[in-house]
Amino acid sequence: MQVYTSFNGKDRSPAAVVGLSIITVGIYYLVWYYKINKEIKLHNPQIKVSPGWAVVALFVPVANLVTAYGTAARIRQMQLDEGASQTISPVVALLLAIFLGIGYPLYIASQLREHWHFHAIQSLKNASTQSVDGVPNAQQLPQGSDRVVTSLEATVESKPELG
Ligand SMILES: [Zn+2]
């Protein structure tokens, strides 16, 4: 069963997330933190999270670490639900949040970017192998089909005109 919806998160550069957070004195960080949690939830409805409360938790000692770990754990769940072999490490994310502030958004944003990229590529592939009305393109037809079509056309053309 497919666990994910067609909703994809926004592709954000990890460096831009950090840069914008610094420029806006942390305000962008809160917006980003809200959005990524909402995107994860929309992408995988099995994952329960209240993005608003996640942001509130950032202001509360200890709860800020719980939510930092929790967001990484949700990303891991999203990856595992789709059979990923390489996943984010929520423990590493937590250690980054404690000891290296900017390491946390860099790590989280790069993991998310990779995931959204994967889906973007998948949907491009699907779009290129299907025509608008769902009839497969020539590349998808079994080998030799083109020759059958050509010989059919030749047959039609070689028929003497009736009447
Ligand atoms: Zn996914």
In tens, the pLDDT along 27-41 reads 999 999 999 999 999
CA of 75 from ligand 1 middle (Å) equals: 9
pLDDT on residue 123: 86
CA of 8 from ligand 1 middle (Å) equals: 8
Q: How confident is the model at residue 138 (pLDDT cuts 50, 70, 90)?
A: very low
Residue, of 104 and 156, whose pLDDT is higher: 104
Q: Contacts for 99-108 with beta carbons within 8 Å, 24 or more apart?
A: 102/18, 104/68, 105/14, 105/17, 105/18, 105/21, 105/29, 105/32, 106/14, 106/15, 106/17, 106/18, 107/14, 107/72, 108/36, 108/71, 108/72, 108/75
- Using CA atoms, how far apart are residues 86 and 81, in angstroms rounded to an integer? 12
pLDDT on residue 131: 56
Closest Cα partner for 114 from 13, 33, 1, 16? 13
> Per residue in 85-97, pLDDT tens?
899 999 999 999 9
Q: How confident is the model at residue 161 (pLDDT cuts 50, 70, 90)?
A: low
CA of 52 from ligand 1 middle (Å) equals: 22
pLDDT on residue 129: 77
CA of 72 from ligand 1 middle (Å) equals: 14
